[in-house]
Amino acid sequence: MTKKDNPQKNSTSVRGIGIDIESIERFRKRPLRSAAHFYRKIFTAAELAYCRTYKDPYPHLAARFCAKEAAVKALGMAPDFKKIEVRKNAQTGAPFLFVKGKNLSSAYISLSHTRDYACALVVIF
């Protein structure tokens, strides 16, 4: 097997992968107003402001929570959710991860949700 054939020896090999799925109902059961402390422990002010721009913020909150869980798994780090932020690329609108103290220039994230569930996938090269 040559270096070209072995992805483990390739400079673009995957260093970490994480995936998570959550019930959106879990977030709906904790209204933003009455559970503000809960949300402030998990999300940054920018994430909360972004999700509040939607009529129904809960699918977006759940998807961002999934992204944080997936990032923890991909990075192999302790779950410190306030250090992980899901941001939006101003030009493309695509989500990307910002993690305090980590260079994630080669991290990919995908968020999705249905009426009932949200999920996220994070791949780090």
Q: What are 83-92's contacts with CB under 8 Å, separation 24+?
A: 85/44, 85/46, 85/47, 86/47, 86/111, 87/46, 88/50
Which residues have a catalytic role annotated? 73, 113
Residue in the block written with tokens 């999705």:
112
Q: Beta 107-113 vs 84-88: how paired, if at all?
A: unpaired
Q: Are the beta carbons of 84 and 93 closer than 8 angstroms?
A: no
What phi, psi does 74 have (nearest 5°)? -65, -35
